[in-house]
Chains A and B, each alone.
Chain A
Amino acid sequence: EVQLLESGGGFVQPGGSLRVSCAASGFTFSNYAMSWVRQAPGKGPEWVGSITGRGESTYYADSVKGRFTISRDNSKNTLYLQMNSLRVEDTAVYYCAKDIMMDYWGQGTLVTGS
């Protein structure tokens, strides 16, 4: 059974930094791209970025480019999202999702910046 479990969310002052993690199980992690998606309160999902299976390429939304970094440790089956220079508008539930077609999602972790 595929499972994705995010952790590391919390309250951050504007301008601050936070790293959230996503622990994956139930599939061969290194074979799949992974994505981060966020959802602000009352809004639809917004793609944040994706990383290829071996981690050689990353892609970002313009709204986070230069501030957020996606990485992965395939030996630990874990995906990361490093968020720097956080803004109030980054407040959202952050989800990790398997692949770019997002066939499985985690339960999400809330990041609050205000």
Chain B
Amino acid sequence: DIQMTQSPSSLSASVGDRVTITCRASQGIRNYLAWFQQKPGKAPKSLIYAASSLQSGVPSKFSGSGSGTDFTLTISSLQPDDSATYYCQQYNSYPLTFGGGTKVEIK
């Protein structure tokens, strides 16, 4: 199984800060990586697919990069509404697997 490791597990940043979350796969997954945002009591929402493609309707302040085993999600200018938990997920091979999540809080 492919293990997905996210870091950090949590972070606290100020409004306007640039925030970067990292996701590492235990083996190469090409660019078959998605990023999700989840707020309490809600379903996860897709932000990024194919490592760097923005889902329709998602603000351009979210961006993704990487290929192979190392990936990043960047929020260019953090806003209060971005407070959430973010997950990566690989869909290169079964079983599909998620990272452990990064909880983003606003200072």
Q: Shortest CB–CB separation between residue A79 and chain B, in angstroms?
A: 15
Q: Say which size band chain A's interface belongs to.
A: 20 to 34
Which of A11-19, A24-32, A99-107 touches B? A99-107
B45 touching A47, Cβ below 8 Å: no
**Interchain CA distance A103-B54 in the complex, whole Å:** 11
**Interchain CA distance A35-B95 in the complex, whole Å:** 11
Binding site for A on B (CB under 8 A): 32, 34, 36, 38, 43-46, 49-50, 55, 85, 87, 89, 91, 94-101
**Interchain CA distance A35-B55 in the complex, whole Å:** 18
Interface of A, helix, strand, loop or mixed by DSSP: loop
A102 touching B36, Cβ below 8 Å: yes
Neighbouring B residues of A45 by C-beta, 8 Å = 36, 38, 44, 87, 89, 98
A59 touching B95, Cβ below 8 Å: yes
